[in-house]
Structure 1
Amino acid sequence: MMERAVVERESGVGRGLGGFGDVGVVGEEGADVRELGALRLSVLSFAAAPRVRGGVSGGVPAWQVAMVACGSVLVASRRGAARLEAGDLVLWEPGQSIDRAVAAVEGPAPRVLVLHLPDHLLPVSPAALRELTARPVRSERGAAACLARVLEEFGRRGREVAAAEEPWLARAAADLAAAFVAGLAGTPTVGDNGPGPAAVPDRQGALLRDVMAYIERHLSDPLLSPGTIAAAHHISVRYLHRLFQRERSTVSGYVRDRRLERCRADLADPALAAHSVSRIRTGWGFRDAAAFSRTFKRTYGMAPSEYRRLTGTGTGTGSGPGAGGRPGR
């Protein structure tokens, strides 16, 4: 059952502006939403305007890059009203879903594609980004044209994308969106040559903190690697390595050191005295026993079993229920 939205209620903009008609709102959630890793693509059709929140999985605030695929829409923002024609792109800030800002529509069933992006993927500060919002841009050349084409294809063929392809396509979409936003700001993108003049140096620090938090959550995964970490954050492995140069470390070295520290703490924990060295080792992602022992001894000056004896926590056989799994907390 469709409800007709009162334009003034939704946006504060009067009815019939520029010959546009009212916006219909679906009484129940009905957006066509496609997840691509940390990104989300919403396909909105306006005779009915689904209510789509400006966020991505996990509740991370998201910027929105919207493209009108067909028809025309009138959007209301703090800057005033703007008319978006077919082929127009616009940047929209978090906190207000762009479908909520659509005051009126024109033409048969306008269709809008919305790419939701975490802010760390964009090479411009949040303050600078807000100055670029709600400004229609024609997708006629450069990054805008490439991004519009990709969004249109995702909108048409997104359901055909295999799971193994999703991280790579998400990275491509994120890179194009970053190039588009950098073009709006008049600055080069953040890439292997470093940030442009309008980029904020601390953006790299914020991304590095996100990466480190991700690593901490996945230390027990033996498949954790620079490749999987980079793919999860939609950056290149090369750029990931550059982030860790700030810490005078390598990605693999950081992962190894964090795993070693977790193992050392567990070996000294009386509550885990019944857990074997093997169980603790494998529980924190070390698959090779000999390599683990060598690395532990090189780092702490003694073998894992000797360290456990010196800390007085005893040894465990690991033969009880759950042996070989992640250490209990």
Structure 2
Amino acid sequence: MIRTVFRSDDLPPGERLARFEDFLDGTSHPMRVTTADPARFRATVRVLDLGPVSVVHLTCSPAVVWRTERLIRRADPELCSVLFPHRGALRVAQAHREAALTGRDFALCDSSRPFRVLVSGPGTPALIQARAPRALLPAPVRRTDHLLGRRLPGREGLGALLTQFLTDVTAAPAPYSGSDVSRLSSVALDLLATVLAHHADDDGAARDGAARARGGVARAQDGPRELLPRIEAFIAEHLADPELSPGTVAAAHHISVRYLHRLFQLRDTTVTELIRRLRLERARRDLADPRLRDLPVHRVAARWGFAEHSAFTRAFRTAYGVPPRDYRRRAGRVPADSSGGPPCLPVPPVPLGG
């Protein structure tokens, strides 16, 4: 059930803004706030916890909320979030872009980058925000810098499915059961990933079209020194795709598979071995991350492109000497490091051969 975590009406008028500032400063990703009329400021924050996903409904007087580099250095849970107006209007600025939002149009925010949100409108405006750890999103949609600070349509298509879902779950008066929360969390993550992938694909197609018009698509004439880093970056960004293979990598860079294998001889490895090694390492990190302890092992495997759970288990045991479930159990008994990241376990290097 949605919880009220801050309500200014419970406080004397002269303390409301300062207490709201304290509230924002004490969150997992601290923020600042300012308003043109501090004496009349009001705010109510309600939060619906859906496992690793949280949905926030904020009602407040017109104000500006922002996050700076200094606040990011102090605390950053690496959250990806979408936000849209429930009443009034928003103006969201991030990554040197600014989006004016009305209705159900939404914007994407990254807690690891400075941002500014202007809440405005007649009466008391309200917004809805859904936040999820970036690590839970499929690898291809984690790099979303090109979407930050842009207005994304939320009144039709996939965007409407997302904004309507978030509006409905925050409005439901009845409490959710434990199984309801688990299912709603999966729905929220899947919807968010689907919407971001849709816009990333559209944007990528537009960029590719512009590059083709300039004659600048994947340059097979580039030498190995220029081509190899681009290919390795491409592989790292597409590990979650179970269809990733030497053939798809070569096609994406407009080179032959034979030439691709020749390039990787310079790295003393093969394309297939690199894909397997990177996937196993990403899965190992997820299994050791206490924030992902409720994510089933088979979902961890699928997130990194392993289509068959049994094949993942065999490869993981070969690489690290223990099955993935046992590794996760051991990780749960090791304290997190001082940086707040996943536990640090001694891990043998992943063999490249075989």
Q: Do residues 103 (structure 1) and 118 (structure 2) align?
A: yes
The answer to whether the 8 Å contact 1:75/1:103 transfers is yes
Q: Distance in 2 between matches of 1:48 and 1:64?
A: 21
Q: Distance in 2 between matches of 1:261 and 1:113?
A: 38
The answer to whether the 8 Å contact 2:93/2:117 transfers is yes
> Cα–Cα, structure 1 residues 210 and 47, in superposed 2: closer, same or farther, change >3 Å?
same
- Residue number in structure 2 paired with 1:208: 283
> Cα–Cα, structure 1 residues 172 and 24, in superposed 2: closer, same or farther, change >3 Å?
farther
Of 128, 152, 162 in structure 1, the residue corresponding to residue 167 of structure 2 is: 152
The answer to whether the 8 Å contact 1:25/1:50 transfers is no
> Cα–Cα, structure 1 residues 211 and 110, in superposed 2: closer, same or farther, change >3 Å?
same
- Residue number in structure 2 paired with 1:63: 80
Q: Distance in 2 between matches of 1:260 and 1:118?
A: 22
Q: Which amino acid aligns with 1:161?
A: Y
Q: Distance in 2 between matches of 1:50 and 1:125?
A: 32
Cα offset for 1:113? 1.1
Cα offset for 1:112? 1.2
Of 183, 195, 198 in structure 2, the residue corresponding to residue 180 of structure 1 is: 195
The answer to whether the 8 Å contact 1:125/1:203 transfers is no
**What is the CA RMSD across the aligned residues, in angstroms?**
5.0
The answer to whether the 8 Å contact 1:89/1:139 transfers is yes
Q: Distance in 1 between matches of 2:77 and 2:159?
A: 25
Query: CA deviation digits over 1:259-286, x for unaligned, max 9?
Result: 9999xxxxxxxxxxxxxxxxxxxxxxxx
Q: Which amino acid aligns with 1:33?
A: V
- Residue number in structure 2 paired with 1:42: 56
Q: Distance in 1 between matches of 2:36 and 2:110?
A: 24
Query: CA deviation digits over 1:99-127, x for unaligned, max 9?
Result: xx223401332221111111123335588
Identity among equivalent positions (%) equals 18
Provide structure 1 residue ranges, at least 5 long, that are not aligned to the other structure: 13-20, 219-223, 263-329
Taking the TM superposition and a 5 Å limit, the aligned residue runs for 1:244-255 are: 245-246=311-312, 248-249=314-315, 254-255=323-324
Cα offset for 1:39? 1.1
Taking the TM superposition and a 5 Å limit, the aligned residue runs for 1:138-287 are: 138-157=153-172, 160-186=175-201, 194=243, 204-205=279-280, 207-213=282-288, 228-229=296-297, 242=308, 245-246=311-312, 248-249=314-315, 254-255=323-324, 258=327
Of the two, which has the highest radius of gyration? Answer: 1
- Secondary structure (helix, strand or coil) at the match of 1:131 reads helix
Cα offset for 1:159? 5.7
The answer to whether the 8 Å contact 2:306/2:312 transfers is no
Q: Distance in 2 between matches of 1:207 and 1:124?
A: 10
Q: Distance in 1 between matches of 2:55 and 2:158?
A: 18
Q: Do residues 32 (structure 1) and 46 (structure 2) align?
A: yes
- Residue number in structure 2 paired with 1:306: none
* TM-score where L is the length of structure 1: 0.53
Structure 1, 126-135 or 24-33: larger mean CA deviation: 24-33
Number of residue-to-residue matches in the alignment: 234
The answer to whether the 8 Å contact 1:63/1:117 transfers is yes
Q: Distance in 2 between matches of 1:41 and 1:111?
A: 13
Query: CA deviation digits over 1:10-29, x for unaligned, max 9?
Result: 699xxxxxxxx948699899
- Secondary structure (helix, strand or coil) at the match of 1:135 reads coil
Q: Distance in 1 between matches of 2:39 and 2:93?
A: 16
The answer to whether the 8 Å contact 1:39/1:170 transfers is yes
> Cα–Cα, structure 1 residues 70 and 256, in superposed 2: closer, same or farther, change >3 Å?
closer
Of 67, 72, 76 in structure 1, the residue corresponding to residue 93 of structure 2 is: 76
Of 151, 166, 170 in structure 2, the residue corresponding to residue 136 of structure 1 is: 151
